[in-house]
């Protein structure tokens, strides 16, 4: 069994545009801006032996405001420029009631099957409540990057609350696989 860090894409690995307090993904590969911590943080996690996998909801495809081809080009750009092994994508919207759309753990469980992941020794990093809920449901440790969006916070307490991908990577590297102490968030 392998240990992994499963990362949300938008707001974690790449920057989002925030409008009205809500995050929006880039509309094209030309708009992709890596999070400043992405390169060093992901390199450190990879050196530590973690498999790095993107798990991302892309409901704009189902809504008709984004094409699947553009999402795939953005994902390929990330796979080619960062030490990421794979990318699992849900192209559905909530109304589709699929098992792969976070907060359900379908993408994480699919990655675990494909790569023989030990989810109890793995981590999910996300910037939205859906990421934390999916990670909790899959049995992984969860790290919430609080970007200050105007939406609800995670209902399940994450294992850590941080303000950047670099802080998330440092927190992971400070804890042994499977060791899941709760961060004091008071």
Q: Which sequence positions are flagged as catalytic? A: 8, 10
Q: How far apart are the first and last CA of the chain?
A: 35
What residues have CB less than 8 Å from 105, skipping those under 6 apart? 134, 135, 137, 138
CA distance 154 to 74: 27
Residue 132 tokens, joined: 């934390």
Q: Which of 55, 79, 82, 40 is nearest to 166 (CA)?
A: 40
């Amino acid at each position: 069994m392998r240990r992994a860090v499963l990362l949300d894409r938008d707001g974690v690995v790449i920057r989002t545009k925030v409008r009205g307090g809500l995050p929006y993904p880039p509309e094209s590969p030309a708009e992709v801006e890596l999070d400043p911590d992405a390169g060093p943080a992901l390199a450190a996690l990879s050196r530590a032996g973690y498999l790095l996998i993107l798990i991302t909801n892309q409901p704009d495809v189902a809504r008709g405001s984004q094409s699947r081809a553009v999402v795939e080009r953005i994902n390929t750009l990330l796979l080619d420029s960062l030490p990421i092994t794979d990318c699992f994508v849900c192209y559905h919207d909530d109304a589709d009631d699929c098992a792969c759309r976070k907060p359900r753990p379908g993408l994480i469980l699919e990655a675990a099957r494909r790569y023989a992941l030990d989810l109890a020794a793995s981590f999910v990093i996300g910037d939205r409540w859906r990421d934390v809920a999916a990670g909790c449901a899959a049995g992984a440790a969860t790290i919430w990057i609080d970007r200050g969006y105007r939406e609800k916070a995670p209902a399940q307490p994450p294992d850590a609350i941080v303000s950047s991908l670099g802080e998330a990577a440092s927190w992971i590297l400070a804890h042994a696989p499977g060791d899941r102490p709760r961060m004091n968030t008071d």
